[in-house]
Amino acid sequence: MTVADAELIRIDGVAKRYRTASGVVDALGDVSLAVPEGQFCTIIGPSGCGKSTLLGMLAGLVGPDGGRVLIEGQPVTGPDPRRVATVFQDPGLFPWRTALENVEFGLELQGADRGRRRAVATELLGPLGLRGFAEKYPRELSGGMKQRVAIGRALAIDTKILLMDEPFGALDEQTRMLMGEWLLDIWRRTNKTVIFVTHSLHEALALSTRVVVMTARPGRIKSVLELPLGYPRAMESPELVTLRAKLWSEIRDESLRAMSES
């Protein structure tokens, strides 16, 4: 085993049941997954199958009912902004902070001085297409812009692990493709481990080293597709067209099941 193959994340038999006033939801079944350092691991599965719940566990925000979540061999007991940055499905910006100040937030938590915070955040705004919007407040930004600020906030703290929950879901197709290329470039330069949730087959196949398909709720792992392919990927190549068909047939079955049971 090389250093690059070292296991960074281990999810061991986790389950999650939400109990609310209106009833009980079994969100996750028995999920186990090991992710070596440096992977771009995408999780794909029907709406409501527990993807955000699983990411919440890795972020230390949701406690599992059973099983364990380990990062570098240590059980996750709460958020750890030194090791894990998260882009949430909902951008969750601070409305009283400008775009630039939102991007700086994690660096403040890490204790970075003002000069460094400004420099890092300002540099990130360029490729995010927000250079002219540094001083705007979230209410003055479009949905896609807010999401890009949230991506900047997560990247600014430069952690080993980056959790991304449908980070490009609110973006138009062209911006989404450009953001994908940009993220890929960052990932390849930094050797971060990315856990990425998407509903886009194209995105999963264009970006990932591994795609994990989840079943309908309660979410379990249905299959794992390894993609030992280079970048940029020729999406129309016979190999990728075949992989896409295979992935779609698995997801289609689960999505139909999820819709008929909802």
Ligand X SMILES: Nc1ncnc2c1ncn2[C@@H]1O[C@H](COP(=O)(O)OP(=O)(O)OP(=O)(O)O)[C@@H](O)[C@H]1O
Q: Which residues are near Mg ion by CB under 5 A?
A: 51-52, 89
The label of the residue with tokens 């990425």 reads 196
Binder of ligand X out of 15, 27, 76, 151 (CB under 6 A): 27
Shortest Å distance, C-beta 206 to ligand X: 19
Binder of ligand X out of 6, 13, 34, 47 (CB under 6 A): 47
| Residue 123 or 261 having the CB closest to ligand X | 261
Which residues 65-104 are close enough to bind ligand X by CB under 6 A?
89
Binder of ligand X out of 35, 49, 125, 243 (CB under 6 A): 49
Residue 20 near which of ligand X, Mg ion, none (CB within 5-8 Å, type-dependent): ligand X
Binder of ligand X out of 14, 15, 44, 51 (CB under 6 A): 51
Stretch that binds ligand X, among 30-38, 43-51, 107-115, 224-232 (CB under 6 A): 43-51
Contact between 52 and ligand X (CB under 6 A)? yes
Residue 53 near which of Mg ion, ligand X, none (CB within 5-8 Å, type-dependent): ligand X
**Per-residue H/E/C for the chain:** CCHHHCEEEEEEEEEEEEEECCEEEEEEEEEEEEEECCCEEEEECCCCCCHHHHHHHHCCCCCCCEEEEEECCEECCCCCCCCEEEECCCCCCCCCCCHHHHHHHHHHHCCCCHHHHHHHHHHHHCCCCCHHHCCCCHHHCCHHHHHHHHHHHHHHCCCCEEEEECCCCCCCHHHHHHHHHHHHHHHHHHCCEEEEECCCHHHHHHHCCEEEEECCCCECEEEEEECCCCCCCCCCCHHHHHHHHHHHHHHHHHHHHHHHHC
C-beta of residue 216 within 8 angstroms of C-beta of residue 31:
no
Contact between 18 and ligand X (CB under 6 A)? yes
Residue 48 near which of Mg ion, ligand X, none (CB within 5-8 Å, type-dependent): ligand X
Shortest Å distance, C-beta 208 to ligand X: 17
Shortest Å distance, C-beta 51 to Mg ion: 5
Query: Footprint of ligand X on this chain (CB under 6 A)?
Result: 18, 20, 25, 27, 47-53, 89, 217
